Chain A
Amino acid sequence: MIQFHSWAEFWAMGKYAAYVWPSYALTGVVVLLNVAWARGLLRQARSEAQRRMALQEERT
């Protein structure tokens, strides 16, 4: 069952908007940042490995 009758009521969160929304926002930001961070690390590790292999091929 949907608990709110209007968007205004939803955003107000009883009288707890100042605590509920920052909690959700912070969690959401950290969830997304961890995705970006992990993917960035993998991309970086990949391109470094590729550079290493190219160097090895030059030597041989």
Chain B
Amino acid sequence: MTWTWFHRLGSPPYVYALARRLTPWFGWSAALLMLAGLFGGLVLAPPDYQQGDGFRIIYVHAPTAWLSLMVYTWMGVAAAVGLIWRIKVAHAVAAACAPVGASFTAVALATGSLFGKPMWGTWWVWTPRLTSELLLLFLYLGYMGLRASFDDTQRADRASAVLAVVGIVNVPIVHYSVVWWNDLHQASSLTLAGKDTIATSMLGPLLVSLLGFTLYFGAILLVRLRAEILRRERSAAWIREALA
């Protein structure tokens, strides 16, 4: 097996050009799927037999909660790759992930609160799922704060990467919290084993939304990554060509 693809992904000019080429594909397919998911979730899916039309919050709550965990995983893995192989592009990926992840973690918490009030009768409970998701937000904010406290990008990269890698422990805790503990939060509606606890007519829009939000994150990450690379590659000759 050759590792040329891996080495190429460590090269800023290559990644910059690749990101520019991929962005429209991610962006437009995301827009299409998100709009389809929006229509499906708000209009086509039948009301829940217990939660009525209130359950439609799931079509924004589940995708944003999914993003909060997926983005952190990307950030943690990219930071680890950056630490282990000293790849600058990997650190740039991690840095580009954090603000996006933080904003969607906040949205997941807020939409969860708006879901909890009518269904549970409370905006907030200190159960494992909610508490670990709040910790996730603090991990993102801590990562961003730590980065901001260094003037030197390389030192910021290394210090913040350690925090990002250690914080990965929290990702399975958030995900499995509703399995490991008796949480007020319901268990996952989707399983890889295919034993979904959700009707097909409700599942369709949810899957479309999840895929849409995932591709959306891809598009945002690619744009942010290009900005990060330009900022880091101070005087590289290739930038002259890339900007021409």
A38 with B224, Cβ < 8 A, contacts A20-B53, A23-B114, A46-B230 known: yes
**Is B54 a contact partner of A16 (Cβ separation < 8 A)?**
yes
**Is B54 a contact partner of A49 (Cβ separation < 8 A)?**
no
Interface residues on A, range: 35 or more
Q: Which residues of B contact A20 (CB under 8 A)?
A: 53-54, 56-57
Within 8 A of A (CB), among B189-237: 216, 220, 223-224, 226-228, 230-231, 234-235
**Is B111 a contact partner of A26 (Cβ separation < 8 A)?**
yes
What's the minimum C-beta distance from A1 to chain B, rounded to whole angstroms?
Answer: 6
What's the minimum C-beta distance from A14 to chain B, rounded to whole angstroms?
Answer: 4
Check if A34 is an interface residue, CB within 8 A of chain B: yes
Contact with B along A1-22 (1 / 0, CB 8 A): 1111000001001111001101
**Is B230 a contact partner of A26 (Cβ separation < 8 A)?**
no
**Is B56 a contact partner of A38 (Cβ separation < 8 A)?**
no
**Is B220 a contact partner of A34 (Cβ separation < 8 A)?**
yes
Q: Which residues of B contact A15 (CB under 8 A)?
A: 52, 54
Q: Which of A10, A26, A35, A44 contacts B110 (CB 8 A)?
A: A26
Which residue of chain A lies nearest to B27 when distances are taken between CB atoms in the complex? A35
Check if B44 is an interface residue, CB within 8 A of chain A: yes
**Is B56 a contact partner of A13 (Cβ separation < 8 A)?**
yes
Q: Which of B64, B114, B223, B240 contacts A42 (CB 8 A)?
A: B223
A50 with B57, Cβ < 8 A, contacts A23-B111, A38-B220, A38-B224 known: no
**Is A23 a contact partner of B220 (Cβ separation < 8 A)?**
no
Check if B60 is an interface residue, CB within 8 A of chain A: yes
User: Number of B residues contacting the other chain (C-beta, 8 Å)?
Assistant: 42
Q: Report the Cα distance A13→B235, complex, angstroms.
A: 56
Check if B34 is an interface residue, CB within 8 A of chain A: yes
Q: Which residues of A contact B46 (CB under 8 A)?
A: 1, 3
Q: Which of B45, B53, B220 contacts A13 (CB 8 A)?
A: B53
**Is A42 a contact partner of B34 (Cβ separation < 8 A)?**
no
A45 with B60, Cβ < 8 A, contacts A1-B46, A27-B111, A52-B235 known: no
**Is A27 a contact partner of B60 (Cβ separation < 8 A)?**
yes
A interface residues, Cβ below 8 angstroms from B? 1-4, 10, 13-16, 19-20, 22-24, 26-27, 30-31, 33-35, 37-39, 41-42, 44-46, 48-50, 52-53, 56
A-B contact pairs, 18 of them (CB 8 A): A2-B44, A3-B47, A4-B43, A10-B43, A14-B47, A16-B52, A16-B54, A19-B114, A23-B115, A24-B42, A27-B64, A30-B103, A30-B104, A31-B34, A35-B220, A48-B230, A48-B231, A50-B243
